[in-house]
């Protein structure tokens, strides 16, 4: 679970945008992203670093594997 190391919310933002998501709104310190075909919105808190469970939950909703995310990070 701790394969990600330190990942900023800005990195997750870039990953979501590359995968076709867009920022719908910001509520407090949480950014809400949507994309057609997703079962629910993706929520990314503006924390540095992001807790691994936030990353894993969002990857699950996107249908993206940990391996693909690690490749994006350059840690494969």
pTM of the model: 0.91
Output the pLDDT for position 1.
54
What element of type H or E holds 66? Answer: helix 66-73
Q: Which domain holds residue 66?
A: 2-73
The pLDDT of residue 37 is above 90: yes
Number of structural domains (the chain) is 1
Give 38-60 pLDDT, tens digit per residue. Answer: 999 999 999 999 999 999 999 99
**Within 10 A of 51 (CB to CB), how many other CB atoms are there?**
13
CATH number where 63 lies: 3.30.920.30
The predicted-structure confidence for 2-33, as pLDDT tens digits, reads as follows: 677 789 999 999 999 999 999 999 999 999 99
């Amino acid at each position: 679970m701790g394969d990600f190391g330190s990942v900023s919310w800005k990195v997750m933002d870039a990953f979501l945008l590359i995968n076709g998501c867009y920022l719908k709104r910001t509520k407090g310190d949480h950014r809400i992203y949507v994309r057609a075909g997703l079962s629910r919105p993706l929520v990314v808190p503006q924390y540095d670093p992001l807790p691994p469970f936030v990353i894993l939950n969002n990857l699950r909703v996107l249908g993206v594997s940990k391996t693909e995310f690690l490749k994006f990070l350059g840690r494969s």
